Amino acid sequence: MKNRIMLLIVLTVAIMSACKNEKKMDNPFFAEYSTPFQVPPFDLIDTSHYMPAFTEGIKQHDAEIASITANADEPTFENTILPFDKSGKVLKRVSKVFFNITEAHTNDQLQKIAEKVSPILSKHNDDIAMNAKLFARIKAIFDKRAGLKLDAQQLRVVEKYYRDFERQGANLPKEQQDQLRKINEDLSMLNLKFGDNLLAETNKNFKLVIESNADLDGLPDDVVSAASEAAEKAGLKGKWVFTLAKPSLIPFLQYSKKRELREKIYRGYFMRGNNGNVNDNKTILSDIVRLRAEKAKLLGYENIAAYIIDENMAKTPAAVDAFLNKLMVAALPVAKAELAEMQKIADAEGAKYKLQSWDWWYYSEKLRKQKYDLDENELKPYFSLENVRNGMFAVAGKLYGITFTKVTNLPVYQKDVETFEVKEADGSHLGVLYLDYYPRAEKRGGAWCTDFQSAGWENDKKVDPVISMVCNFTPPTGNVPALLNWDETSTLFHEFGHALHGLFTQGKYNRTAGNVPQDYVELPSQVMENWAGEPEVLKMYAKHYKTGEVIPDKLIEKIVNSGLFNQGFVTVEYLAASILDLDYHKLAVPAKVDPIAFEKASMAKAGLIDEILPRYRSTYFAHIFSGGYAAGYYVYIWAAVLDADAFDYFKQSGNIFNPELAGKFRKYCLAESGDDEGMIQYKKFRGQEPSLDPLLIRRGLK
Ligand SMILES: [Zn+2]
């Protein structure tokens, strides 16, 4: 009885305060989620909750930082670094959901909120980066860090935060800070302009219009009908239109027997941004290069590549240079041999010309048919989505002992999304995995892995991760389940590798837990692709969706062999672009560059042959001039060296599921990946620096 009264009083108080704060209580972002495993309560989240939650999140974050800077006590790890590291919880909570949903399940209202909130958030971040009082406290701790009896992780966190501020100019005198801010503003405008020009050059300024049937010679039916539809859309009914978008361009280059048309469309492609029209990118990129060099100088670096790579595993531009050149030396002869093989085919067909860059796709397709013929339709029945997914779960189980149990009581943001509870070998909870497989109009293209909650620590308690993988795979049709092609199968394993990284991440501080350099990011993901294509593993999961028959050896052999197709070309065109990127960003001020002459000299130095263009030429190299990959286009192949070397370690041990190596890989390269520099973590697993050989061998370059 007494208890009931107590309960009543408590309830009344709760209801009263609920009335008072009605608006706040309704907004699911204002409180810890009370769902199972604390996943976002998608069933309770309404579009109207986002903006108030952003506003409140920023307000709380500002207040948290103000209370750190208002502290009259001497700055310490506990009163400054720790609260700063844990600050912004509400803002993070709403941001995670909002930005993941705008990628995976967006609508006009969400897009509008995104446009509204993006500048507000970027101002909020700038305010923190320029907060002189906050920086002064962090600097005070940094300066006396050696005497503070901090453990290794605390020390690293202090150093990371100090460097974040320093790298954004916090140590500069006011006048130079203003210069830096002006450079950043100018750069962001130029980056946008570069991208806008490229968009116009790709989608508007060029199209190949075909008017006669004869000019369609060689093109497959589906390519022709797509071109006919494109023509109709362009108001050119009865004709055929090809554009510079890859799904239109590449099949044309592969199949068109009309060499002069192949040249015409390829010229359209490789002249983008270099046509002397209003969308020309030469002056813009020259300005970008100069401003970046000025920024590096202001911040005390020799060039912008040195500034950027300083944070990466590679550490210095010289190390990247040497790395890329070594690979180039290995790949060039293979590309030349591929060219010679193709020339032989052309000669045998009586072509009577020396192959040029616009011939590569056409003859490599012939070579592929001759040497590696792999019919996707023959493969697909063995790769139902369910079998592939169970295969990757089984691989993770064999490596790490973890299990995946489907759960149906968690809220999802779209009905097709599946959820799994991930458990350790001893049955304890590890995290939650969301899987979102199929294309929708509301989803952007591609495949990615993200999280709704990163693994972390809060008040000495571990916070469990909630990870999400989003893909755009071929959906099921009628009574045929979703059947994946080889590329999709590798993609699922790839994203799953990112997911495992997120699930296993340990570390007490947000600044370092799971936080790895750009040239490390793709190690956890790419390494999983090795297991996907291993014959022993294929036999585990690649089973015919109707009969359950295990994939025949003949098909396994084709999958393995096809991995060698055109690798000389693929590697060389990629390396050429990486070298071009690095060369631009090694320039010191004053750097007035003529992009065409600069590119020519850079490529000649790299030894590039005329028949291959860099994967991106200067005037359409969006990764480096409008995206975030300046002096960083090399990272994909850097990580490929690591993943090939890591997998080779398993293979050399005679057991691709070697539990001791799996344990070390999990601990050093996944769980503690942010604990120390990338190369140090890798060497803790591997016992030595990675070798280039496994990658060269995998690509048939050695
Ligand atoms: Zn990836």
Compute the distance from residue 483 Cα to the ligand 1 centre, in Å.
Answer: 22
Nearest CA among 61, 115, 92 for reference residue 452: 92
Predicted confidence band at 180 (pLDDT cuts at 50, 70, 90)? very high
Compute the distance from residue 584 Cα to the ligand 1 centre, in Å.
Answer: 26
- Bridge partners of 419, per DSSP, are 407, 434
* Digit-coded pLDDT (tens) for 461-517: 999 999 999 999 988 888 999 999 998 999 999 999 999 999 999 999 999 999 999
Compute the distance from residue 488 Cα to the ligand 1 centre, in Å.
Answer: 13
Q: What is the mean pLDDT of residues 435-454?
A: 92
For tokens 């890798």, name the residue. 682
Compute the distance from residue 97 Cα to the ligand 1 centre, in Å.
Answer: 20
Q: Tell me how far apart the alpha carbons of residues 83 and 407 are, in angstroms, rounded to a whole number.
A: 35
Compute the distance from residue 524 Cα to the ligand 1 centre, in Å.
Answer: 8
* Digit-coded pLDDT (tens) for 511-549: 999 999 999 999 999 999 999 999 999 999 999 999 999
For residue 302, pLDDT over 60 is answered with yes
Compute the distance from residue 117 Cα to the ligand 1 centre, in Å.
Answer: 27
Pairing verdict, β 429-436 and 418-423: antiparallel
Compute the distance from residue 498 Cα to the ligand 1 centre, in Å.
Answer: 7
pLDDT at 24: 53
Compute the distance from residue 446 Cα to the ligand 1 centre, in Å.
Answer: 11
* Digit-coded pLDDT (tens) for 626-646: 988 999 999 999 999 999 999
First-last CA distance in the chain: 82
> 670: which DSSP letter?
I
Compute the distance from residue 81 Cα to the ligand 1 centre, in Å.
Answer: 31
Nearest CA among 413, 393, 416 for reference residue 403: 393
Buried b (16+ CB within 10 A) or exposed e, 267-285: ebbbbbbbbeeebbbbebb
Within 13 Å and on the Cβ side, how many CA atoms surround 590? 1
Compute the distance from residue 141 Cα to the ligand 1 centre, in Å.
Answer: 36
Compute the distance from residue 64 Cα to the ligand 1 centre, in Å.
Answer: 34
Average pLDDT of every residue of the chain = 93
**Omega into 590 within 30° of 0, i.e. cis?**
yes
Three-state DSSP at 124 gives: helix
pLDDT at 2: 33
Compute the distance from residue 315 Cα to the ligand 1 centre, in Å.
Answer: 21
For residue 16, pLDDT over 60 is answered with no
* CA dihedral sign, ordered 209, 212, 218, 220: positive
Compute the distance from residue 520 Cα to the ligand 1 centre, in Å.
Answer: 10
Q: What is the mean pLDDT of residues 414-421?
A: 97
For the CA atoms of 598, 602, 608, 612, what is the dihedral angle to 10 degrees?
-40
pLDDT at 567: 96
The string of DSSP codes covering 510-529 is TTTTT---TTTTTHHHHHHH
Q: What is the mean pLDDT of residues 684-700?
A: 96
> 689: which DSSP letter?
P
For residue 320, pLDDT over 60 is answered with yes
For residue 115, pLDDT over 80 is answered with yes
Compute the distance from residue 496 Cα to the ligand 1 centre, in Å.
Answer: 9
For residue 405, pLDDT over 80 is answered with yes
Nearest CA among 244, 248, 246, 203 for reference residue 228: 248
Catalytic residues: 495
pLDDT at 4: 36
pLDDT at 444: 84
Q: What is the mean pLDDT of residues 349-366?
A: 96
* Digit-coded pLDDT (tens) for 375-385: 888 899 999 99
Three-state DSSP at 430 gives: strand
Compute the distance from residue 639 Cα to the ligand 1 centre, in Å.
Answer: 10
Which pair of structure tokens corresponds to residue 254?
């592969």
For residue 249, pLDDT over 90 is answered with yes
Compute the distance from residue 533 Cα to the ligand 1 centre, in Å.
Answer: 17
Pairing verdict, β 418-423 and 403-407: antiparallel
Q: What is the mean pLDDT of residues 349-357?
A: 96
The string of DSSP codes covering 70-89 is T--SPP-IIIIIHHHHT--H
Compute the distance from residue 494 Cα to the ligand 1 centre, in Å.
Answer: 6
Residue 467, sorted as left (phi over 0), alpha (psi -120 to 50) or beta, turns out to be: beta
Q: Tell me how far apart the alpha carbons of residues 376 and 379 are, in angstroms, rounded to a whole number.
A: 5
Compute the distance from residue 283 Cα to the ligand 1 centre, in Å.
Answer: 33
